[in-house]
Amino acid sequence: MSNFSWERALFEQGITAVAGVDEAGRGPLAGPVVAGAVILSADIDLTPFRDSKKMTAKARERVFALLYDLDIPCGVGICSPAEIDDINILQASLLAMKRAVLDLPRAAAYLLVDGKFTVPMDLPQEALIKGEDKSASIAAASIIAKVSRDHLMVDYDQQYPLYNFAQHKGYPTKAHKAIIAEHGICPIHRRTFKGVLEFV
């Protein structure tokens, strides 16, 4: 379970709208990079929120549904494969995070951001390396980002059934690389990525 000490310290300063921000999908060869932003309140039960990478897909889906059922403010931001190719994956990840913050149903006053970099927007914020382990808000955002992206990749699987996106979600698995080698790439592949670039 992630803790809430960063958030509590900010609450004590009178800053209540603290958004955790994280992204999913920096490493895949296909599909968008997706970010989540979540504002947790002081009285929330923190037990469900942990690093999405340490949870099963089923557990992530459960917490994802819970966040929306409890009407917790959540935002989602997406950067397309074309944007990733255009501005590079780091800039696209940060832009997706900015879009997630802007998508929140209420304005955030402070951001806790997973990773080394802050979001390019005029809000006070703190970048936390391994943030999903340090902040429940970031852990919740990591679940929103991951599950939202997985849902998108399942939709893309319907559009491009040849590529098995529902299974590997665009990540560079052996099976995915073999399909690219055999059939070439499709419109949602990231053309600047090694493993795709060679087949453009």
The pLDDT tens digits for 129-174 are 999 999 999 999 999 999 999 999 999 999 999 999 999 999 999 9
User: The domain at 5-148 falls in which architecture?
Assistant: 2-Layer Sandwich (3.30)
Residue type, 195: G
Closest residue by Cα to residue 89 from 75, 79, 77, 100: 79
Per-residue b or e along 36-63, where b marks 16 or more CB atoms closer than 10 Å to that residue's CB:
bbbbbeeebebebbbbbeebeeeebeeb
Q: What confidence score (pLDDT) does residue 8 get?
A: 95
Mean pLDDT of 4-21: 96
Q: What is the percent of the chain with per-residue pLDDT over 70, rounded to a whole number? A: 99
The Cβ of residue 84 has, within 10 Å, a number of other Cβ atoms equal to: 26
Sheet holding 125-128, edge to edge: 74-79, 33-39, 18-24, 110-114, 125-128
Each residue's pLDDT tens digit, 57-88: 999 999 999 999 999 999 999 999 999 999 99
Q: What confidence score (pLDDT) does residue 134 get?
A: 94
Q: What confidence score (pLDDT) does residue 151 get?
A: 98
* pLDDT mean across residues, the chain: 96
Ranges of each domain in the chain: 5-148
Q: What is the percent of the chain with per-residue pLDDT over 90, rounded to a whole number? A: 95
Question: Does 1 score more than 90 pLDDT?
Answer: no
pTM score above 0.85: yes
